[in-house]
């Protein structure tokens, strides 16, 4: 017996009013479908098949970046039962099939394990249900006098009495392969929506003389679906509040829990403080005593102990060692690697730059494709000219280099240890160590020169 997960993702999602298929809409920066696939993959040993239809190629090509999955096509959306039937080839009689929805993103692996644990020979089908104050729109769980499930009735087919039922079908179910195949073969579309309802297999299970097991998730947001932008927003906020709760548990100081977004994984040390309007993307690690100022965006980076990020800084794919001070208004682009005690000040852009311990680039500079030693001081307005329009070249600075303001270092070029570059220089040849190098037009003052007058 093995586990086969089938994720339904063929629907258009018209109510999103978007060219992007619904299952690719981002929640916490990741497609809805990717959340579902991750939960399925955490079950271990599960083979995952996605039923695609609307914009199938786009869905597959986006998902292929992060996952290798099986796909089956459902060219016409004739209902959830019809969708699962498209995957008949992928599961065997002895497999257990878990059906998930591509637009129900926050389902938890633990809940799925509970559901799967209920599948037995006596109960070859288990359904995840939830009790809602307002059950409108959902299929209702109908139980008999002994509280046993007898069927699911869709809203559009329900009697007024059935509509009163608050326990609903989340859509997520687990079922033995041999029964699933048999029951899917018996589905008809004689119902209000003229669709093949997957939910009809519940009454078929009962007719078979078998029981239907049910369980509920620990939290409602696990089973909330996304149909429009309002619901997407609701789930995003609920998800972010959960992330924030985890940060509070870890002792993080958040100046406003509603004004921080974690679109990925954030690992934190002790006494981390995060000011308002900070966005974390991808994988970010913050050491002890790291403080992040207001309005920063930090993506796929590691920031070590005691480093301070001042407001309005943007840090992408960078490594920062301890005791650095960054910003305000700094931009660290991919491949920035700072040793301890580095200072990067306002309006400084770095890219593929390795900067040694204690070096300072305090104002208005571009440092790209550069290896810089320790304790350098780079004056305001220094530019590494790394690009000739076709190729990129390297700039190398030794230790204790002083570069005067408004200098251009034309790569490839290298500056020796303890060298000084005079302000305003254009350096296109290597500069030796322990020496002042400058290139500067001679200054002249013209006596008797007269200012122009307005004609």
CB of 137 to Ca ion, least distance (A): 7
The number of beta carbons lying within 10 Å of the beta carbon of residue 267 is 12
Q: In sequence order, which residues have a C-beta less than 8 Å from that of residue 130 and are 6 or more positions away?
A: 167, 168, 170, 216, 217, 220, 223
CB of 51 to ligand UD1, least distance (A): 5
212-231: which residues touch Ca ion (CB under 5 A)? 225
User: Which range in 55-63, 196-204, 261-269, 334-342 contacts ligand UD1 by CB under 6 A?
Assistant: 196-204
147-176: which residues touch ligand UD1 (CB under 6 A)? 152, 154, 168-171
11 part of the interface to ligand UD1, by CB under 6 A: yes
Q: Which of ligand UD1, Ca ion, none interacts with 100 (beta carbon under 5 to 8 A by kind)?
A: none
Phi first, then psi, for residue 349 (nearest 5°) are -115, 130
User: Which range in 73-81, 276-284, 289-297, 317-325 contacts ligand UD1 by CB under 6 A?
Assistant: 73-81
314-353: which residues touch ligand UD1 (CB under 6 A)? none
DSSP for residue 74? -
Instruction: Give the residue, chosen from 4, 28, 80, 386, that forms a contact with ligand UD1 under the rule CB under 6 A.
Output: 80
Q: What is the largest CA-CA distance in the chain?
A: 112
222-281: which residues touch Ca ion (CB under 5 A)? 225
Nearer to ligand UD1, 173 or 308 (CB): 173
User: Which range in 31-39, 197-205, 212-220, 320-328 contacts ligand UD1 by CB under 6 A?
Assistant: 197-205
User: Which range in 100-108, 112-120, 318-326, 368-376 contacts ligand UD1 by CB under 6 A?
Assistant: 100-108
Smallest CA-to-CA distance from 158 within 133, 136, 129 is with: 136
CB of 162 to Ca ion, least distance (A): 18
Q: Which of Ca ion, ligand UD1, none interacts with 74 (beta carbon under 5 to 8 A by kind)?
A: ligand UD1
Q: In sequence order, which residues have a C-beta less than 8 Å from that of residue 139 and are 6 or more positions away?
A: 152, 153, 154, 155, 168, 169, 171, 199
The count of residues interacting with ligand UD1 (CB under 6 A) is 27
142 in Cβ contact with 153 (< 8 Å): yes
Q: Which of ligand UD1, Ca ion, none interacts with 292 (beta carbon under 5 to 8 A by kind)?
A: none
258 is catalytic: no
The number of beta carbons lying within 10 Å of the beta carbon of residue 166 is 13
Smallest CA-to-CA distance from 13 within 77, 64, 70, 61 is with: 77
User: Which range in 95-103, 203-211, 376-384, 435-443 contacts ligand UD1 by CB under 6 A?
Assistant: 95-103
CB of 214 to ligand UD1, least distance (A): 13
Distance CA 5, CA 45 (A): 10
Structure tokens at 296: 């920063």
CB of 12 to ligand UD1, least distance (A): 8
Report how far apart, in Å, the C-alpha atoms of 389 and of each of 29, 178, 348 are.
34, 64, 22
| Binding map of Ca ion across residues 372-411, x = CB under 5 A, - = no contact | ----------------------------------------
Q: Is the peptide bond before 431 cis (omega within 30 degrees of 0)?
A: no
Tell me the Cα Rg of the chain.
Answer: 31
Helix ranges restricted to H, 118-277: 160-163, 177-185, 201-207, 229-249
Distance CA 281, CA 259 (A): 15
Distance CA 270, CA 276 (A): 19
79 part of the interface to ligand UD1, by CB under 6 A: yes
31 part of the interface to ligand UD1, by CB under 6 A: no
33 in Cβ contact with 269 (< 8 Å): no
Catalytic residue among 35, 82, 314, 363: 363
Distance CA 58, CA 73 (A): 13
Q: Alpha carbon 5 to chain centroid distance?
A: 22
User: Which range in 2-10, 327-335, 352-360, 381-389 contacts ligand UD1 by CB under 6 A?
Assistant: 2-10
CB of 6 to ligand UD1, least distance (A): 10
Nearer to Ca ion, 154 or 316 (CB): 154
420-421 and 402-403 strand pairing: parallel
222 part of the interface to ligand UD1, by CB under 6 A: no
Q: Which of Ca ion, ligand UD1, none interacts with 31 (beta carbon under 5 to 8 A by kind)?
A: none
Q: Give the residues across from 100 on adjacent strands.
A: 7
51 part of the interface to ligand UD1, by CB under 6 A: yes
User: Which parts of this chain interact with ligand UD1 (CB under 6 A)?
Assistant: 8-11, 51, 74, 77-80, 82-83, 101-103, 138-139, 152, 154, 168-171, 197-199, 225
Catalytic residues: 363
User: Which parts of this chain interact with Ca ion (CB under 5 A)?
Assistant: 225
């Amino acid at each position: 017996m093995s586990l086969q997960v089938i994720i339904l993702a063929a629907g258009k999602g018209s109510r999103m009013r978007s060219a992007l298929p619904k299952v690719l809409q981002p929640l916490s920066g990741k497609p809805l479908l990717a959340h579902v696939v991750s939960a399925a993959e955490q079950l271990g040993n599960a083979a995952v098949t996605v039923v695609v239809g609307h914009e199938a190629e786009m869905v597959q090509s986006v998902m292929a970046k992060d996952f290798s999955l099986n796909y089956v096509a459902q060219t016409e959306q004739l209902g959830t039962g019809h969708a699962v039937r498209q995957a008949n080839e992928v599961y065997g009689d002895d497999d257990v099939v878990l059906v998930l929805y591509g637009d129900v993103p926050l389902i938890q692996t633990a809940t799925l394990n509970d559901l799967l644990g209920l599948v037995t020979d006596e109960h070859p089908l288990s359904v995840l249900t939830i009790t809602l104050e307002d059950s409108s729109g959902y299929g209702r769980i109908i139980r008999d006098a002994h509280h046993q499930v007898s069927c699911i009735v869709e809203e559009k087919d329900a009697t007024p009495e059935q509509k009163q039922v608050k326990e609903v079908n989340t859509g997520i179910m687990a079922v033995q392969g041999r029964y699933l195949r048999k029951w899917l073969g018996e589905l008809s579309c004689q119902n209000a929506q003229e669709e093949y309802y997957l939910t009809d297999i519940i009454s078929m299970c009962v007719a078979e003389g078998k029981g239907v097991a049910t369980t509920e998730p620990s939290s409602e947001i696990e089973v909330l679906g996304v149909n429009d932008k309002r619901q997407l927003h609701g789930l995003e906020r609920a998800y972010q509040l959960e992330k924030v709760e985890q940060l509070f548990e870890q002792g993080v100081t958040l100046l406003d829990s509603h004004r921080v977004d974690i679109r990925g994984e954030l690992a934190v040390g002790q006494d981390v403080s995060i000011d308002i309007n900070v966005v974390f993307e991808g994988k970010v690690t913050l050491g002890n005593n790291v403080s992040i100022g207001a309005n920063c965006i930090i993506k796929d980076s590691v920031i070590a102990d005691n480093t301070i990020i001042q407001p309005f800084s943007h840090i992408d794919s960078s490594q920062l060692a301890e005791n650095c001070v960054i910003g305000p208004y700094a931009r660290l682009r991919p491949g920035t690697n700072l040793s301890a005690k580095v200072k990067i000040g306002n309006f400084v852009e770095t890219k593929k730059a390795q900067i040694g311990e204690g070096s300072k680039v305090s104002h208005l500079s571009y440092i790209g494709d550069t290896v810089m030693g320790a304790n350098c001081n780079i004056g305001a307005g220094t530019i590494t000219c790394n690009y000739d329009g076709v190729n990129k070249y390297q700039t190398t600075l030794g230790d204790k280099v002083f570069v005067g303001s408004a200098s251009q270092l034309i790569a490839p070029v290298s500056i020796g240890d303890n060298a000084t570059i005079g302000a305003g220089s254009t350096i296109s040849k290597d500069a030796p160590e322990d020496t002042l190098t400058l290139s500067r037009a001679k200054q002249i003052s013209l006596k008797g020169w007269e200012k122009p007058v307005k004609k």
